[in-house]
Structure 1
Amino acid sequence: MNQSLKIAFPKNISVSIKREDLIHPFVSGNKFRKLKYNLLQAKDENAATLLTFGGAYSNHIAAVAFSGKEQGFKTIGVIRGEELASKIQENPTLKFAQECGMQFEFVSRENYRLKENQDFISNLKQKRGNFYLIPEGGTNDLAIQGCQEILTDEDAEFVYICCAVGTGGTISGLINSALPHQKVLGFPALKGDFLQDEIRTFVKNQNWELILDYHFGGYGKINSELVRFINDFYQTTQIPLDPIYTGKMVFGIIDLIQKDYFPENAKILLIHTGGLQGVAGMNTKLKNKKLPLIEIHD
């Protein structure tokens, strides 16, 4: 569903948001898209167990846990940070995943970096048995196939397609399915420009650009300005944004409009990739730091 923002922008610019967050109550946005064909492949391979990777408040971990429960798979989450093993009940994401039946393998941050190492994977199989492997964030060829279905015929009127970027899968799908007159703008949640090469492994088109100025210090980083923006945006539009991905992307788009980045009469489509389950965890961190809380109700 595309929802037009009833906000008066300069130069007759119009902005709409595609509510991918409403696809599914627990597997929303790009996680639904990324898992669609991976789950079908796992069934084709007669896999009984899904194994994947994620951090403390990972949207992907929550989505895999619920999808596994819903579709009859056992699930294993390899979690970054051994200290989290004793904090499951304090962590809304891990608590939810455990309630969905997910088993956890907590590893050090050093060992977590080995998640693509074949010896590391082989050791996991020796310990946990055989499994269907879904990469961190869900990004692989099957995930991109799913993300290519985000854009539909009704989106042809838009010239700019904008999304947040984590592992690069969602934007790759959008780039592959965008029409010749459309440009895809990605807003990385991580600091640095290393995603360019990763995205190029999945796409051939040149109709895209990464905007690197709105990560707010890096992945999982947030400040009072962004919290106020998310709260004000919700009050104005009744659209909830998550603070890790979509909130930063929408902040960036509105800032770019004000800085005259877009031409007159530009039609812009924002992709809401979900991630709202992470708000509770972020609010816990904000409360501990005595910062304002995100006040949205999804």
Structure 2
Amino acid sequence: MENAGSLFRPPSPVEELIDPRLAARGVRLLLKRDDLLDPEIPGNKWRKLKYNIEAARRSDHATILTFGGAYSNHIRATAAAGAIFGLRTIGVIRGEEHLPLNPTLAYAAGRGMTLTYLDRPTYRRKTESEVIEALHRRFGDFSLIPEGGSNGLAVRGCAEMPDEITQNFDLVCCPCGTGGTLAGIAAGLRGDQEVLGFSVLKGANWLDDEIRRLQEDAYATPQGRWRVNLDYHFGGYAKTTPELLSFIADFEKRHGLRLDRLYTGKMMYGIFDLTEKNRFSPGTTVVAVITGPI
């Protein structure tokens, strides 16, 4: 395992996106390129893991256990973090083992992660004490990070993002899965600034309550101003439509940036569609968070 590295990462760059469709409506768009934070732990994965890594390194056991699907970017990033920072990592994977391992799990195993599997009914109970106690009996002491990496420590990491943006702005937009990134960004805003999350999940009416819960976990009380838009999930998690894929291809052709179809593509489509519908006042400066690579 590699020697433990530094938890410091320089701020990710902010780039202005020039597009006549936005300019015609008086909207300025800045891209917060969190996808460039770290090649192995990119974007919001790094921000969510930062203080979880710090806590695990301070503990006696220096072990992280977390959950995810077979293609989970969170599993991949946690495995990389373990290798870089000298931590033992355990990935509890939803479903049965399939060999050979897919590229995500092969990478995680190659970075030293111990992979174990839970059948789907048990996996749905992964937050219950009975399941957690069984994992402790098998693996000993560990720091537990929930699926997707969203907890109070993750919120504190994501809350550092707004201070890195030196330009004046009115609104931050981010894709929204578990709500941790949005909860953190909202906590880091000042004045009348607001964050708008674009849910990538269908029927995610629970997100507002979850964001409040995450902020209370981190700060005891809710922080900042936020909204969640539920209209641009394109069928749900990992679902797409020809319209979305066409937008992503056109965006790459225009701007040389490939958006992923799970998260940033849906967010960016929403930003352009809301701009076209005059939902942003002329003169608004929007910061779109590019949370990760393809």
Give the TM-score taking structure 1 as reference length. Answer: 0.88
Q: How does 1:63-82 map to 2 (within 5 A)?
A: 63-82=77-96
Shift of 1:208: 1.2
CA distance in 1, matches of 2:223, 2:64: 32
Relative to total residues, which structure has the larger helix share, 1 or 2? 1
The letter for the 1-side match of 2:158 is C
- 1:200 counterpart = 2:212: yes
SS in 2 for 1:12: coil
Moved more, 9-18 or 34-43: 9-18
SS of 1:157's partner is coil
User: Identity, % of aligned pairs?
Assistant: 44
Q: C-alpha displacement at 1:168, in angstroms? A: 0.9
When residues 259 and 143 of structure 1 are mapped into structure 2, their CA distance, relative to the original with a 3 A threshold, is same
Residue 224 of structure 1, CA deviation: 2.4
- What is the alpha-carbon distance in structure 1 between the residues aligned to residue 26 and residue 53 of structure 2? 43
Q: Does the C-alpha gap of structure 1 residues 51 and 96 become closer, same or farther in structure 2, counting only changes over 3 Å?
A: same
Query: How far apart, CA to CA, are the structure 2 residues paired with 1:233 and 1:251?
Result: 9
2:167 and 2:100 mapped to 1: Cα distance? 44
**Counterpart amino acid of residue 38 in structure 2:** H
Instruction: Give the C-alpha shift of residue 214 in structure 1.
Output: 0.6
1:39 to 53, 58, 62: 53
Aligned residue for 1:149?
Answer: 160
| Alignment-derived partner of residue 141 in structure 2 | 130
Secondary structure of the equivalent of 1:244?
Answer: coil
Report how many aligned residue pairs link the two structures. 273
Distance in 2, Cα, partners of 1:190 & 1:88: 30
Distance 1:169 1:88, change over 3 A: farther
Superposed counterparts of 1:22-101, under 5 Å: 22-82=36-96, 85-89=97-101, 91-101=102-112
Kindly provide the CA deviation profile for residues 107-164 of structure 1, in whole angstroms up to 9, marking residues without a partner as x: 1221111111111000011112221111111111111110011112534511111001
Residue of 13, 19, 23 corresponding to 1:7 = 19
Secondary structure in structure 1 of the residue aligned to 2:92: strand
Q: Deviations over 1:2-37 (max 9, x none)?
A: 111121112221111100000000100011011111
Which one-letter code corresponds to 2:69 in the other structure? G
CA distance in 2, matches of 1:108, 1:73: 26
Q: What corresponds to 1:174 in structure 2?
A: 185
Higher mean alpha-carbon deviation, 152-161 vs 67-76, is at 152-161
Letter in 1 for 2:210: E
Whether contact under 8 Å (1:88, 1:94) holds in the other structure is: no
- Gaps of at least 5 residues in structure 2 are 1-12, 216-221
TM superposition shift of 1:50:
1.2
Match among 95, 115, 129 for residue 118 of structure 1: 129
Separation in 2, partners of 1:232, 1:175:
31
Aligned residue number for residue 286 of structure 1: none
How far did 1:205 drift? 3.7
Question: Any conservation in 1 of the 2:189–2:224 contact (CA below 8 Å)?
Answer: no
- Give the whole-Å Cα distance in 2 for the aligned partners of 1:43 and 1:206: 30
Cα distance, 1:240 vs structure 2? 2.4
Structure 1 regions of 5+ residues with no counterpart? 280-298
Partner of 1:222: 240
Give the C-alpha shift of residue 56 in structure 1.
2.0
| Cα displacement string for residues 269-291 of structure 1 (whole angstroms, at most 9, x for unaligned residues) | 001111x2xx4xxxxxxxxxxxx
**1:265 matches 2:283:** yes
Which residue of 1 is the match for residue 3 of structure 2? none
CA positional deviation for 1:102: 1.2
Deviation at 1:237, TM superposition (A): 1.3
Contact 1:65 1:75 in 2 (8 A): yes
CA RMSD of aligned residues (A): 1.4
Q: 1:95: how far off?
A: 1.6
Query: For residue 223 of structure 1, what is the amino acid of its counterpart?
Result: T
Q: Which amino acid aligns with 1:271?
A: V
TM-score w.r.t. the length of structure 2 is: 0.89
Give the CA deviation at 1:81: 1.6
Mapped contact 1:30–1:170 kept (Cα < 8 A): yes
In 2, distance between residues paired with 1:68 and 1:153?
A: 26
Equivalent AA in structure 2 for residue 143 of structure 1: A
